[in-house]
Structure 1
Amino acid sequence: MVKIRLSRFGRKKLPFYRIVVCDSRSPRDGKFIDKIGFYDPINNNVKIDILKVNKWIKNGAKMSNIVLNIYKKYIINSSK
């Protein structure tokens, strides 16, 4: 099963996340198929490639709950 989820980067107590498409069996920071964005919780920066997200969802990928919340928040903020 293919999932869209976060992969953690950054140093201790300063997280930075990539939003990646990967196999559900791979580890959190392991091998991924495609990088579709990033999330910086410290500075509240989010960048998501919506076209890639839609392509992967059409192909059967499932979003994790956290990525889904970030995606909804990003869509709502960008439409204003």
Structure 2
Amino acid sequence: MDEERDLDRREREILALERRGFSGPGLKERAIREELGLAPVRYYQLLNALLDDARALAFDPVTVNRLRRVRDARRAER
């Protein structure tokens, strides 16, 4: 079976939103609420789980690897 088909629609939408650039404060949170119907806290929980999912890596390796680097750098700062 094709790996990307394993991701459901919401998971693909989360990765697509992460590929977009947001120029101002609050725009991303607004898009999360309006386009995905999620609270930002829940969105980031789902995103974090996706970053550890091999299916997401196979579907969009550039985005997942970029976000993993950002996450790892933030963890190292703590």
Give your verdict on TM over 0.5.
no
Q: Which has the higher helix share?
A: 2
Higher relative contact order (CA 8 A, sep 6+): 2
TM bracket (short chain)? 0.3 to 0.5
TM-score calculated relative to the size of structure 1: 0.34
TM-score calculated relative to the size of structure 2: 0.35
